[in-house]
Structure 1
Amino acid sequence: MSLIGAAVLGFLLGSIPFGLLLTRAAGLGDIRAIGSGSIGATNVLRTGSKALAAGTLLLDGLKGTVAVWLAVWLLGPAAAGVAAVAAVFGHCFTPWLGFRGGKGIATALGAFLALAWAVFVTAGVVWLVTAKVTRISSASGLAGMIAAAVVAWIVGGPGLGWPVLVIVVTIFARHHQNIRRLLAGAEPRIGAGK
């Protein structure tokens, strides 16, 4: 029952569509109508508001962190991985938006922070370095996720490795169109195009 509770808690927290809420509150309309149609920070940045994009990134990350922390506090350490996976699922498949949502990287990073700081730091550093080099948001995010999966197995074994791997696979699935464009050399750079 504690694992079911962790899944419900994580999913509900993860499903809060902060990108949509912030852009609507700012009078910018429906973020799903521009760019990639995602509710995540990268698409919010396409509105031209760095502040809203930063706010979306922070809040999407926090819901992953809070989901894990609350699950551990209320249900015990065994609930952490389930809550982390559920938070990412909630963000990617939010029921409030017809089970469509964002692509999960910020929420995953927030969950990693609560699960194991080494996984969070590794993913974050690889993400930032790759973004600096390539200026491609999807490439940097996916590189960070691969690094997270490797480090999770090294520092935490299967107990940490499996939840992180499920999250990473989900994120790669959500990025299938980006991956196709990356392979074709057609993925837009940060701050340009859609």
Structure 2
Amino acid sequence: MKTLLVFFACYLVGSISGAYILSRAFFHKDIRDEGSGNAGTTNAVRVMGKKLGYTTFAIDVLKGVVAMALLAPMLDESIRLFAALFVVLGHDFPFYLGFRGGKGIATTFGSYTTLQPLWGGVAAIAGVIAAKVTKYVSVGSLTFLSLSSAAMLIKYGSIGYNRWAILAVWLMGFIRHKDNLIRLKEGRENKIGG
């Protein structure tokens, strides 16, 4: 029962949508009706500007930090990474927003860097470099997601059932970027500064 309550708490923390709250508070609009329609950092920067966009990023990162620093320790070591999965699920599919949220990259960053600051940081730097070189935020996001997931698998994949949570976060991130991948293939993806 305690395990289910922790999972639910992680989901609730994840469902706090910074982009939605800030767009309502400052513009009286639903950010999901603007720009790309995504309730995440990239769209928040494009729609609300850098200040509120980066505030969105900070909120989404903090959700991952809270889940892993405060809630995950309540779980058995064999399933601790499921806290990351459920906080990302909350971010991606908030129940009070019709299950239409973000793509989970910032929250994954917060989750994984709380556990492994060095490797999470290295993966994030690689993601930033990939985004700058290609001019595509989505490429940077998926680079970070893949490298950080690989690091988590190396560190925690052999412990209990954690590998399944890590793989689920990775797969969900790619599924959430499905439209970006299609646009990349067709040469229609928005470039940074474009």
Query: What do residues 113-158 of structure 1 show as CA deviations (whole Å, max 9, x unaligned)?
Result: 2232244123211211111111211111011111112222223333
Structure 2 residue aligned with 1:113: 113
CA contact 2:23–2:48 (8 Å) conserved in 1: no
Q: 1:75 to 1:148 in 2, by over 3 A?
A: closer
Residue type at the aligned position of 2:103: K
CA contact 1:109–1:123 (8 Å) conserved in 2: no
C-alpha distance in 2 between matches for 1:120 and 1:28: 35
Query: What do residues 32-78 of structure 1 show as CA deviations (whole Å, max 9, x unaligned)?
Result: 11111011010011125100110000110110110121213444545
Residue type at the aligned position of 2:177: H
Structure 2 residue aligned with 1:11: 11
C-alpha distance in 2 between matches for 1:167 and 1:96: 21
| Among 182, 186, 189, the residue aligned to 2:188 | 186
Q: Is 1:94 aligned to 2:94, yes or no?
A: yes
CA contact 1:119–1:151 (8 Å) conserved in 2: yes
C-alpha distance in 2 between matches for 1:16 and 1:30: 14
| Cα RMSD (Å) | 1.8
Q: Provide the secondary structure at the position in 1 that maps to 2:70.
A: helix
C-alpha distance in 1 between matches for 2:123 and 2:165: 15
CA contact 1:3–1:82 (8 Å) conserved in 2: no
CA contact 2:94–2:101 (8 Å) conserved in 1: yes
Residue type at the aligned position of 1:95: F
Q: Which runs of 5+ in 1 are unaligned?
A: none
Report which stretch shifted further, 181-190 or 51-60. Answer: 181-190
C-alpha distance in 1 between matches for 2:149 and 2:135: 22
C-alpha distance in 2 between matches for 1:188 and 1:56: 20
| Among 163, 166, 169, the residue aligned to 1:164 | 166
Q: Provide the secondary structure at the position in 1 that maps to 2:158.
A: helix
C-alpha distance in 1 between matches for 2:34 and 2:133: 26
Structure 2 residue aligned with 1:153: 153
C-alpha distance in 2 between matches for 1:114 and 1:162: 19
User: Normalising by the residue count of structure 1, what TM-score does the alignment of the two structures yield?
Assistant: 0.91
C-alpha distance in 2 between matches for 1:75 and 1:149: 20
Residue type at the aligned position of 1:92: D
CA contact 2:72–2:81 (8 Å) conserved in 1: no
The total of aligned residue pairs comes to: 192
Q: Which runs of 5+ in 2 are unaligned?
A: none
CA contact 1:2–1:79 (8 Å) conserved in 2: no
C-alpha distance in 2 between matches for 1:152 and 1:76: 17
1:89 Cα deviation (Å)? 0.4
Structure 2 residue aligned with 1:37: 37
